[in-house]
Amino acid sequence: MTDDQFREILRRLGLSWEGYRRVRKGVKKRLSEHLARLGCRRVEDYLRLLHEVPSSRREALLLMGVTISRFFRDLRVWDALESRVIPEILASGLREVSVWSAGCGRGEEVYTLKMLWEHLRENRPHLPDLTIRATDRNPENLAAAAMGIYPKSTLREVPALFRERFFSELGKGRVAIVASSLHENILWMVHDLMEDPPPRGGFHLVFLRNSLLTYYGESRAARALPRVLSSLGDGGFLVIGRKESLPSSVESLRGFLPEEGIYRKAWSRGGRTL
């Protein structure tokens, strides 16, 4: 499959070449295998099938998932969450903090937040409960995330203290499993950001890192983003990738730490903004 053919498939699926350019080798291989399974001898036949058969299009979109990640990815973001964002959330005196990890992949981000929360609890014995809605389009990703078993390579940025406390080794040290305590209060749920209605709102923190704004075309991302923001409570925080940009049409967010991809939703009452 040539790059031009791959570009055309991306265009038909509403996806971004810039988002997939660096990871295209593995994705092109999966698409070529899908094309062969469907009996398409030419990419043109495949494109026609994607247009005419909705199930084939859904299968193709699942194959476009990119699950390359690691715990504590972009350490500066997690430092900012610990030192700036979480204290702001806690200042409201909440009994429970609710989080949505949208496009959670295999769950590294979810468990990273859980580890950080348990670490904070050591100095804040009355820290509110943390509940996380973790969603992804691919049920295989969610099944893997719920198991909590990862290659050792995904732990390379985990602080030593956290690694000792929250992981145990399996398979002669080749893989690691997260502590059972980290599995509590996580709801893993199949959800398509482009097709499904968002979870019911009021989240204090929403992670949308390296998913919608990276891999979808600008126009499709701009249509889906308001649905995500509708689930974010007033004054809540949105975290996107550090190299991602928000569409210019977004007016409800204010830069909190924009250099780290962290924004805050404006208050809707009385015209007051944050």
- Return phi, psi of residue 178, to 5°: -75, 155
Distance CA 223, CA 238 (A): 17
The answer to whether residue 272 is domain-embedded is no
* C-alpha dihedral (247, 205, 132, 77), degrees to nearest 10: 80
Does residue 43 sit in the same domain as residue 130?
no
The answer to whether residue 69 is domain-embedded is no
Res 250: pLDDT: 82
pLDDT tens digits along 40-96: 999 999 999 999 999 999 999 999 888 778 999 999 999 999 999 999 999 988 989
The residue segments making up the domain with residue 18 are 3-63
Does residue 84 sit in the same domain as residue 119?
yes
195 CB burial (10 A radius; 0-12, 13-18, 19+): exposed
pLDDT tens digits along 130-180: 999 999 999 999 999 999 999 999 999 999 999 999 999 887 778 999 999
Does residue 88 sit in the same domain as residue 155?
yes
Domain closes at, from 33, 63, 93: 63
pLDDT tens digits along 219-229: 888 888 999 99
Does residue 82 sit in the same domain as residue 11?
no
Contact 242/74 with Cβ under 8 angstroms? yes
Please tell me the total count of domains within the chain.
Answer: 2
Does residue 216 sit in the same domain as residue 82?
yes
Is 238 strand, coil or helix? Answer: strand
Does residue 251 sit in the same domain as residue 153?
yes
In the predicted model, is pLDDT for residue 7 greater than 80? Answer: yes
The DSSP H or E segment spanning 35 is helix 24-37
- The CATH number for 165's domain is 3.40.50.150
The answer to whether residue 274 is domain-embedded is no
Q: Indicate the pLDDT class of residue 31, thresholds 50, 70 and 90.
A: very high
Sign of CA dihedral 142, 148, 152, 156: positive
Res 201: pLDDT: 75
